[in-house]
């Protein structure tokens, strides 16, 4: 009998590996891989990735008028070096994240995204294999709209915790979204002081609602569930377009023989009674409806701060090496 990971793939779900540690990626044969500053920080501390650091530091020393510019250049190049290595393992795309400090800066997000694309091109990797990750703020969503429509750059809108974010992202023409499952569960467990089974998990429910909305209204944006806390959250979303899964949970699925029936079925959404909304040309409505979702507001703030803090930690490590 096929293992649970193979069964998940057979439901039509594309499996993506959520890791910067590419030594672990190959075993599970994912289509794509996703990275973020926290994953790159964790991987960059391992000695086997020292050679990528060396390339990035050498590049950074040559690019920048002062130390801070050199450190920024080093970090950008490091992200791209990790992406390059991952693309030698996965047949599809790699997601590379724009610095979370730019989450509320439309133009800086676009400029950084295009710079990352140019860096990839300079080492022979075309933009078709890259997804630019942006936080699902109003500015991030509008930046994705411009990158997709004017530059042909595919975007992954991340740190997504609500339907208003998802609707705006689809209207923006984003290639893919990453609605977070486990972080929603974390919030509800802390707020409600109770545990949830996978069947009643509020993070799972959030992705189901987004999936059904997209399928009912014919949006092509890929729904990629992310941030899982347990195997049950994953199997409850079997049939979702994509799921990005950490190596630890991929290993659990790989070693499991439990049945994984398809739970999300696109054709079922057409009969659901879901009101249609529009946000992409109405910033006040987007901000109000998003603001009504306490969990989403808190988790977006926390996620941006955490990614920004990990990027700063990584820059501190790189600064010492650039100076040295």
Tell me: the pLDDT tens digits for 66-113? 999 999 999 999 999 999 999 999 999 999 999 999 999 999 999 999
What is the DSSP-derived secondary structure letter of residue 272? S
Q: Give residue-wise pLDDT tens across range 254-275.
A: 999 999 999 999 999 999 999 9
What CA–CA distance (Å, rounded) separates 303 from 100? 9
Q: What is the pLDDT of residue 22?
A: 83
What CA–CA distance (Å, rounded) separates 243 from 223? 8
Q: What is the pLDDT of residue 205?
A: 98
At 185, list the tokens: 């569960």
Quick check: 26 pLDDT over 90?
Answer: no
What CA–CA distance (Å, rounded) separates 229 from 244? 12
At 133, list the tokens: 């990750």
At 110, list the tokens: 């676009």
Residues with Cβ within 8 Å of residue 97, at least 6 apart in sequence: 35, 36, 37, 79, 132, 133, 134, 158, 307
Within 10 Å of residue 124's Cβ, how many Cβ atoms?
A: 7
Q: Do residues 286 and 233 make contact, with C-beta atoms less than 8 angstroms apart?
A: no
Q: Do residues 76 and 114 make contact, with C-beta atoms less than 8 angstroms apart?
A: no
Catalytic residues: 133
Q: What is the pLDDT of residue 324?
A: 83
As a whole number, mean pLDDT of residues 126-130 equals 98
Mean pLDDT of the residues in the chain:
97
What is the value of pTM for the model shown?
A: 0.97
Q: Do residues 132 and 145 make contact, with C-beta atoms less than 8 angstroms apart?
A: no
């Amino acid at each position: 009998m096929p293992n649970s990971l193979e069964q998940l793939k057979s439901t039509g779900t594309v499996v993506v590996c959520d890791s910067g540690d590419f030594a672990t990626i190959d075993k599970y044969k994912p289509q794509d891989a996703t990275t973020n500053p926290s994953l790159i920080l964790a991987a960059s501390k391992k000695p086997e990735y020292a050679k990528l650091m060396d390339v990035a530091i050498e590049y950074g020393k040559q690019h920048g008028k002062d130390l801070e510019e050199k450190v920024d250049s080093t970090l950008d190049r490091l992200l791209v070096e990790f992406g390059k290595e991952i693309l030698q393992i996965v047949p599809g795309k790699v997601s590379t994240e724009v610095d979370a400090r730019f989450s509320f800066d439309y133009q800086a997000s676009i400029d950084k995204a295009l710079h990352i694309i140019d860096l990839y091109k300079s080492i022979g990797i075309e933009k078709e294999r890259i997804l630019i990750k942006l936080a699902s703020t109003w500015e991030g969503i509008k930046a994705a709209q411009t990158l997709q429509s004017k530059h042909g750059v595919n975007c992954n809108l991340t740190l997504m915790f609500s339907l208003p974010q998802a609707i705006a992202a689809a209207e923006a023409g984003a290639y893919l979204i990453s609605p977070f499952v486990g972080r929603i569960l974390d919030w509800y467990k802390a707020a409600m002081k109770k545990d949830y089974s996978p069947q009643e998990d509020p993070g799972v429910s959030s992705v189901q609602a987004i999936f059904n909305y997209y399928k009912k209204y014919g949006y092509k944006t890929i729904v990629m569930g992310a941030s899982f806390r347990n195997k049950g959250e994953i199997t409850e979303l079997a049939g979702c377009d994509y799921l990005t899964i950490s190596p630890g949970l991929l290993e659990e699925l790989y070693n499991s023989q439990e049945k994984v029936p398809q739970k999300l079925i696109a054709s079922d959404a057409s009969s659901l009674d879901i009101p249609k909304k529009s946000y992409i040309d109405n910033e006040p409505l987007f901000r109000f409806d998003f603001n009504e979702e306490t969990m989403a507001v808190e988790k977006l703030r926390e996620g941006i701060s955490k990614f920004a803090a990990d990027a700063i930690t990584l820059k501190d490590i790189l600064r010492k090496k650039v100076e040295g």
